[in-house]
């Protein structure tokens, strides 16, 4: 009597133990055939290329000769922009190619290397018994077999290429930033309001048109979006996308209430100037601009997923998916009567990111 194949054991086990009847099973290409080997090589080639394209993205992101762009060029991509010199296109092309190739490889894998199979199982209530659960290990091994990984070692190795390349691409932004500028390890925590990044001087608040802001420019219950007046003149551009704040003049009673609440969040103590308060505009949920201020309730709404922050309670999130407060920018007046940031959000990081905590 001939020895049963692994598939026959699995089919028998699936039927007798799990009640799963594999009624039809046919490999797409004859196992071990020339056609199958050719398809395996093609998929492996695409996976390797995908990994290579992802590594090009990483290398370009970190080492492309990219210097700070001049104000006259703006931040947008324009062909021929002196600061770009192909930087943006090469990032887009390499990452796009990596994702396209891995997608295409998976598509061909599924279409050409997976068997045609029809399996039937009666629906039953409740979970599986412990004995059946033990069989899960075998089932998973079989799934791996069905994908052809057991007898297609080339694909196993080729899979490492996109995994490594795309993994590195995911890390390229935070790690690459530190490689590009190793003397500035706190770059991730610094915004345009940082006095250290502005020659030690406190940074003025300005409107988008670059005019500085005086306290009397904000009416009672009113608000202004303020940007840092950085030394390079790019405070209102994407270079400082993490810096915009909402400068609000609270009604006197509300301002008094907020002042009485500051000690509940000690980092905010002394952060107001009179009835004026400035909070980061970058939502701590997913980074949208939280700018819908409702004067009557003192709630600041983020339009993206409806998070609401209570301005008079140190911008505590009171509704929606955001779990962290909006950081307060400590403000005061400079010698000429303009509003300045005393410090860079007192070291509290803005927006959502790796420092995100589960609770405020």
Contact residues for ligand FES, defined by CB under 6 A: 283, 285-288, 290, 302, 304-305, 307, 320-322
Q: Which is nearer to ligand FES, 94 or 223 (CB)?
A: 223
Q: Which is nearer to ligand FES, 203 or 315 (CB)?
A: 315
Query: Beta strand pairing status for 316-319 and 331-333?
Result: unpaired
Measured CA to CA, the distance from residue 95 to residue 14 in angstroms comes to 42
Q: Which residue has the tokens 């993205």?
A: 57
Q: Min. distance of Cβ 352 from ligand FES in angstroms?
A: 8
Q: Min. distance of Cβ 260 from ligand FES in angstroms?
A: 27
Q: Which residue has the tokens 């403000």?
A: 331
Q: Min. distance of Cβ 333 from ligand FES in angstroms?
A: 31
Q: Which is nearer to ligand FES, 259 or 316 (CB)?
A: 316
Beta bridge partners of 333: 339
Q: How far is CA 101 from the centre of its chain?
A: 22
For residues 122-133, one letter each, b for 16 or more C-beta atoms within 10 angstroms of the residue's C-beta and e for the rest, the string is: eeeeeeeeeeee
Q: Min. distance of Cβ 287 from ligand FES in angstroms?
A: 6
Q: Whose CA is closest to 150, among 42, 47, 40, 39?
A: 40
Q: Which is nearer to ligand FES, 94 or 308 (CB)?
A: 308
Q: Min. distance of Cβ 231 from ligand FES in angstroms?
A: 30
Q: Min. distance of Cβ 321 from ligand FES in angstroms?
A: 6
Q: Min. distance of Cβ 286 from ligand FES in angstroms?
A: 4
Q: Provide the 8-state DSSP code for 24.
A: E
Q: Which is nearer to ligand FES, 53 or 322 (CB)?
A: 322
Q: Which is nearer to ligand FES, 259 or 285 (CB)?
A: 285
Measured CA to CA, the distance from residue 207 to residue 210 in angstroms comes to 5
Beta strands in the chain (DSSP E): 20-26, 116-121, 203-206, 223-228, 245-249, 276-280, 292-294, 299-301, 308-310, 316-319, 331-333, 339-341
Measured CA to CA, the distance from residue 243 to residue 278 in angstroms comes to 11
For residues 314-341, one letter each, b for 16 or more C-beta atoms within 10 angstroms of the residue's C-beta and e for the rest, the string is: bbbbeebebebbbbbbbbbeeeeebbbb
Q: Min. distance of Cβ 306 from ligand FES in angstroms?
A: 6
Q: Which is nearer to ligand FES, 169 or 290 (CB)?
A: 290
Q: Which is nearer to ligand FES, 230 or 308 (CB)?
A: 308
Q: Whose CA is closest to 247, among 289, 205, 286, 285?
A: 205
Measured CA to CA, the distance from residue 317 to residue 298 in angstroms comes to 12
């Amino acid at each position: 009597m001939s020895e049963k194949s692994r598939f026959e054991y699995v089919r028998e086990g699936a039927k007798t133990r799990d009640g799963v009847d594999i009624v039809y099973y046919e490999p797409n290409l004859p196992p071990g055939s020339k056609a199958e080997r050719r398809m395996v090589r093609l998929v492996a080639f695409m996976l390797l290329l995908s990994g290579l394209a992802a590594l090009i993205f990483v290398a370009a992101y970190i080492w492309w000769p990219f210097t700070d762009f001049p104000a006259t060029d703006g931040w947008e991509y324009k062909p021929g922009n002196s600061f770009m010199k192909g930087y943006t296109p090469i990032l887009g092309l390499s990452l796009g190619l990596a994702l396209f190739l891995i997608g295409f490889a998976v598509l061909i894998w599924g279409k050409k290397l997976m068997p045609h199979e029809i399996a039937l199982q009666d629906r039953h209530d409740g979970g599986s018994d412990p004995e059946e659960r033990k069989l899960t290990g075998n089932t998973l091994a079989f799934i791996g077999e069905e994908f052809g990984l057991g007898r297609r070692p080339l694909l196993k190795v080729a899979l490492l290429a996109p995994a490594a390349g795309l993994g590195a691409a995911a890390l390229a932004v935070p790690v690459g930033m530190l490689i590009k500028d190793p003397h500035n390890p706190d770059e991730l925590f610094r915004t345009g309001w940082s006095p250290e990044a502005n020659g030690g001087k406190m940074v003025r608040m300005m409107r988008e048109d670059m005019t500085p802001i005086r306290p009397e420019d904000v009416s009672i219950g009113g608000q202004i979006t303020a940007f840092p007046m950085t030394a390079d003149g790019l405070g209102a551009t994407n270079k400082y996308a993490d810096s915009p704040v909402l400068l609000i003049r609270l009604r006197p009673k509300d301002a008094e209430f907020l002042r009485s609440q500051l000690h509940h969040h000690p980092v905010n103590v002394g952060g107001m100037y009179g009835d004026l308060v400035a909070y980061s505009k970058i939502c701590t949920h997913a980074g949208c601009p939280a700018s819908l201020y409702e004067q009557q309730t003192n709630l600041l709404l983020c339009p993206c997923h409806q998070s609401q922050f209570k301005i008079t309670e140190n911008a505590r999130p009171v509704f929606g998916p955001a779990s962290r407060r909006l950081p307060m920018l400590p403000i005061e007046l400079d010698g000429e009567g303009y509003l300045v940031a005393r410090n860079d959000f007192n070291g509290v990081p803005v927006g959502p990111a790796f420092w995100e905590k589960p609770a405020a």
